Chains A and B, each alone.
Chain A
Amino acid sequence: MALISNSAKLRSYREELVDKKNKEGKKVVAICAGTGCNAYGSPKVVAAFREEIEKQGLSDKIEIKPTGCHGFCERGTLVLMHPEKQLYQRVKPEAVAEIVEKTLKGGEVLEEHLYDEPNTGERYKTEHEIPFYKHQERLILGKNGEIDPTSIDDYIAMGGYDGLTKALELGPDAVLEEVKKANVRGRGGGGFPAGRKWETCKNAPSDKRYVICNADEGDPGAFMDRSILEGNPHAVIEGMIIAAFTIGADEGYVYVRHEYPLAIERLTIALAQAREWGFLGKGILGTDLDFNIKINRGGGAFVCGESTALMASIEGKVGEPRAKHIHTVVAGLHNKPTNLNNVETYANIPLILDKGADWYISKGTKGSPGTKIFSLVGKVNNTGLVEAEMGMTLRQIIFDIGGGIPDGNEFKAVQTGGPSGGCLPASKLDLKVDFDSLWEEGSMMGSGGMIVMDDKTCMVDVAKYFLGFLKFESCGKCTTCREGLRRLHELVTDISEGKGTEETISLIEELCDTVEAGSLCALGTTAMNPVLSTLKYFRDEYMAHVNDHRCPAGVCKELITYEITDNCNGCMVCAKRCPENCIAGEKKQLHVIDNEKCIKCGICKDVCKFDAVRIY
């Protein structure tokens, strides 16, 4: 028997939870236990806090809560103390005893654990004061710092499943209108309005419909969906239930990568709870809605993030895309109408129902309402997960939130939209980010990857990297993608090795045109973006490789030479570390590199403390 049998019960259950929490009046120490912080050693920090709290007899006053990702991965392990939202960063287990004693018991602020802005050195006490958080609009991610992802009670206490009760009261048609009005666009990359997708699926004649959540996040450097599933799985489940109710589906799947063990673990717990509490199963909340969700683990092929390949994979077939002349909303999984949205899209749905479409469209831009989560990585001070209101400029995201470029280097480009996205130069920094603006500039929103590059990055090398990734991840079904991407990679490699000519560049452009026009799925039709966008904005750099056989950024190995300058004081460190033993020189004498033997690994430059090794 379900714990929550109708909407009224849910409300009273929530009131009880909130009353209990208020009565207890516990201080909550939320410790990030996302994948990033876990790697820093967050489980040890959690254990140390629990031990210390127990030892000091504070268990009835302080609750230690491991949560999902808070976003500020650069500074893990993150410890957020509620209700003040005081944030301690880079916390190690050894520091825990002092934190409990002085801060939690004594109310003292320990300066050394506060965030210090790398450019100004200024320290900030609370989370919302820190520039990284201050400029964000954390509608989705904000809850990650408050919810224990393994506790459905935490989610319910924060208003969870309220969107679902509202949806059930409104009825499917009104919900559809609300979602359409909110104009929430597909966060997986396509940017197609979810409401229109739902409508077509709902109206497609069939006795059976499916709802699928695409959690096959495969872009290099992207971890948005992972962090939502790890930090707030019930939001996604609630979104899926609302979708199922609206379109009339009774079966759902979450297709999640096998490489996301923590996301799968937390989702499994959340699904079991949702069933026990009565949000999944037969007669949900006393209505005639029947819906269940299964987890389908993906084997790790990038192409399985493509909807038709994903569905083939769930069916047990090889994960290859098929032509979408007939859309999956009409004939998808097992040839039945299937609504597929991405994790972040589903996580937006409860919010829209709870707060209304009018509120939702007040956020973001006219064409792209709401917020978007970006994984801000690369050469940027504040690496992490960022949730920005649509319409924020690239500059605001990279410099205000991201804190700019480290080591005093210059900004060169930002790559948005994952491997099939494009690279935008400094002249585009004031571009307002939304689905349409990025597309117009030759890049795309994609699922929200944002890789920042500094002036030490070679754009030919970047294009080569992404083409290498895509040619490896192409399923190989269609000629243009299988052969075309391989050839593009070969041609760009030629350029990076100084073997390219101007003809190579025109052949690249010619080939890109056919790969885009002739490929079967979006992997192929967008794969030329990294090459075309770098050619568009950084053509000079290509020409330097082609005409002068020179790599201006000093990256392409075939075109660079290492040299030791007069700065050398003969410390012999580079000579000792050189794996090829090709650096000669006596102690306190100028060293010399034998360029015949040098493999250009760059170790000498890395280890030199006197900046004596240069690339030319």
Chain B
Amino acid sequence: MTVQFTINGVKVEAQKGESVIEVARRYGFEIPSLCHHQAVTPYGACRVCLVEIVKGGRKKLTTSCNYEVLDGIEVVTDSEAIHKHRAMVLELILAEAPDAEPVKKLAAQYGVNVSRFERSDTEMAQERHDCIMCGLCVRVCTEIVEVNALAFNGRGYNRGVGGPYLEAPQSCIACGACAWVCPTDCIGFVEEDGMRKVLKWDRELPMEKDENGRPIAPKFQLHYFKEKFGLPADIYKKAPGSR
């Protein structure tokens, strides 16, 4: 079903169920975001994608990632108020992730080069490193990989992300999808000495070797894929081209 509405005064068309951010981006309107990825369910955590939406004559500031398109709404993707609030949100994020390049870059676009807030010196904050609690790793692990190795722990300012009780997640297959999707690159993913390590989760798994002795991926991960997709038993023994 098609839905018609406007973005910054321009008439646009979208499919029912699409989010405002996706449609806006498709039409070339820029909306910044740190926690959105089209492959997973919108979460609305980072609050950077704030836009103004007029519905039934009432204007409301809201996040565009989890707002499903509706007929007749008017979306404004930039205004003085939007700019001001995005800048403050980015300042809050920058305080806790001062080394994260994408955050620094985006904050600078909104005139925030240094945060007025000091980075917390708690153990929890050290542990978090540049994590901005966007939850993309959790969503990818749950919805795409479907191993449910990661979750949020604690609440409020004590929130952390990782395995149960913030210990190494035993069901993690070290596939690395979380590290790939992480907007601040704070997870850490290395392969060395025949081992794959996902640093943030403290997960280390030995890698399976192909017939030439080259490491392919962790045994655990390959087994999981084989079972999940019903692949032939000897699939990984073959050279990559003939699998």
Do A and B come together as binding partners? Answer: yes
Q: Which residues of A contact B (CB under 8 A)?
A: 301, 303, 318, 322-323, 325-326, 471-480, 482-487, 490, 507, 510-511, 513-514, 517-520
B227 within 8 A of A: no
Establish whether residues A476 and B159, one from each chain, have CB atoms under 8 Å apart when the complex forms: yes
Q: A471-B157, A474-B157, A479-B92 given as contacts; is B66 within 8 A of A325 (CB)?
A: yes
Closest to B92 in A: A483
Write the nearest CB–CB distance from B145 to chain A, whole angstroms.
19
Interface centre among A479, A480, A517 (most CB of B within 10 A): A479
Write the nearest CB–CB distance from B50 to chain A, whole angstroms.
6
- In the complex, 9 of the A-B residue pairs with CB atoms within 8 angstroms, ordered by the A residue number, are A303-B155, A325-B68, A476-B156, A476-B158, A477-B44, A480-B89, A480-B92, A483-B93, A518-B85
Closest to B68 in A: A325
In angstroms, Cα B154 to Cα A485, docked, is: 16
Write the nearest CB–CB distance from B47 to chain A, whole angstroms.
5
B113 within 8 A of A: no
In angstroms, Cα B117 to Cα A514, docked, is: 15
Interface centre among B46, B117, B151 (most CB of A within 10 A): B117
Establish whether residues B88 and A482, one from each chain, have CB atoms under 8 Å apart when the complex forms: no
Establish whether residues A323 and B66, one from each chain, have CB atoms under 8 Å apart when the complex forms: yes
- Residues on B with C-beta less than 8 A from A487 are 92, 95, 117
Closest to A475 in B: B155
Establish whether residues B89 and A479, one from each chain, have CB atoms under 8 Å apart when the complex forms: yes
Q: A479-B46, A480-B92, A483-B93 given as contacts; is B68 within 8 A of A326 (CB)?
A: yes
Establish whether residues B89 and A518, one from each chain, have CB atoms under 8 Å apart when the complex forms: yes
Establish whether residues B156 and A475, one from each chain, have CB atoms under 8 Å apart when the complex forms: yes
Establish whether residues B67 and A323, one from each chain, have CB atoms under 8 Å apart when the complex forms: yes
Partner of A476, one of B44, B93, B157: B157
B contact residues, range: 35 or more
In angstroms, Cα B109 to Cα A228, docked, is: 54
Establish whether residues B117 and A479, one from each chain, have CB atoms under 8 Å apart when the complex forms: no
- Residues on B with C-beta less than 8 A from A520 are 44, 47, 63
Interface members, chain B 114-147 (any A CB < 8 Å): 116-117, 120, 132-133, 135
Establish whether residues A518 and B50, one from each chain, have CB atoms under 8 Å apart when the complex forms: yes
- Residues on B with C-beta less than 8 A from A482 are 133, 156-157, 159
Establish whether residues A510 and B88, one from each chain, have CB atoms under 8 Å apart when the complex forms: yes
- Residues on A with C-beta less than 8 A from B132 are 479
B45 within 8 A of A: yes
Write the nearest CB–CB distance from A320 to chain B, whole angstroms.
8
In angstroms, Cα B84 to Cα A513, docked, is: 10
- List the 5 closest A-B pairs by CB distance, nearest first: A476-B159, A514-B88, A483-B92, A474-B156, A486-B157
In angstroms, Cα B45 to Cα A258, docked, is: 29
- Residues on A with C-beta less than 8 A from B133 are 476-477, 479, 482
Establish whether residues A517 and B85, one from each chain, have CB atoms under 8 Å apart when the complex forms: yes
Establish whether residues A471 and B156, one from each chain, have CB atoms under 8 Å apart when the complex forms: yes
Interface centre among A301, A325, A473 (most CB of B within 10 A): A325
Establish whether residues B47 and A478, one from each chain, have CB atoms under 8 Å apart when the complex forms: yes
Q: A487-B92, A518-B50 given as contacts; is B155 within 8 A of A479 (CB)?
A: no
Establish whether residues A472 and B45, one from each chain, have CB atoms under 8 Å apart when the complex forms: no
Closest to B116 in A: A507
Closest to B115 in A: A487
Interface string of B168-186 (1 = CB under 8 A from A): 0000000000000000000
Establish whether residues B45 and A477, one from each chain, have CB atoms under 8 Å apart when the complex forms: yes
Write the nearest CB–CB distance from A471 to chain B, whole angstroms.
6
Establish whether residues A479 and B47, one from each chain, have CB atoms under 8 Å apart when the complex forms: yes
Write the nearest CB–CB distance from A601 to chain B, whole angstroms.
26
- Residues on B with C-beta less than 8 A from A475 are 155-156, 159
Write the nearest CB–CB distance from B168 to chain A, whole angstroms.
20
B96 within 8 A of A: yes
In angstroms, Cα B95 to Cα A510, docked, is: 16
B61 within 8 A of A: yes
In angstroms, Cα B92 to Cα A484, docked, is: 7
Write the nearest CB–CB distance from B87 to chain A, whole angstroms.
9
B152 within 8 A of A: yes
Closest to A487 in B: B117
